[in-house]
Chains A and B, each alone.
Chain A
């Protein structure tokens, strides 16, 4: 298995532009998580999906952020419009719901820089 695949690995964009981050979970995993990591706040859970349905989006910072999971093999996190304070590493992770207690598998992350 190729693991959790995120794209792009790096993204540099100008303030005000739309940014879309992509994630392909491990085949068969039915829970998907989006995290953000910064030096100031550490790892923050933004949103998680179970069976393609958003379960908890209370970590999404504001309306500029949105996430979708149109099918079991693909999810997107969109920021529109982007701001410099959105600069961070964004991680996607997946797991089997029945094995959540065994941990998640993380992707390599997308490093976003908004200038």
Chain B
């Protein structure tokens, strides 16, 4: 069975400081992994994805994530936070395209606050 755990429900950083949002997954096979971002009262936007290519994945808005199989982690980072980064972030795992299984497994989300 697959699962995904976002280790922090809330993260607060100061503008200009690094961002680290942590995600661990459990999967019996090599999954696809995603980070989605949801700004207040907005829809969900794909930030970046890992699909068994390079383990360091670069996404939009300066975010990146590193897939570490040995640690079953897929943490999201950004060197310098911007006020516009304040949002809810979701770590997501996808099973391989086997049969009719199309269900993404969603983490509960991490709320990122950026202080001036």
Contact = CB atoms under 8 A, between A and B. Distances in A.
Contacts, number: 52
A106 to B, nearest CB: 4
Interface string B84-110: 000000100010110010111010110
B35 to A, nearest CB: 10
B7 to A, nearest CB: 15
Interface stretch (A12-20, A68-76, A95-103): A95-103
Contacts of B46: 103-105
Interface residues of A, number: 24
A25 interface: no
Contact of B102 (A91, A100, A106): A100
Interface of B: 32, 34, 36, 41-46, 49, 51, 90, 94, 96-97, 100, 102-104, 106, 108-109
20 contacts: A31-B102, A33-B102, A42-B106, A43-B106, A50-B100, A55-B100, A56-B103, A91-B43, A91-B44, A97-B97, A100-B94, A100-B97, A101-B51, A101-B94, A102-B49, A102-B51, A103-B36, A103-B94, A106-B45, A108-B42
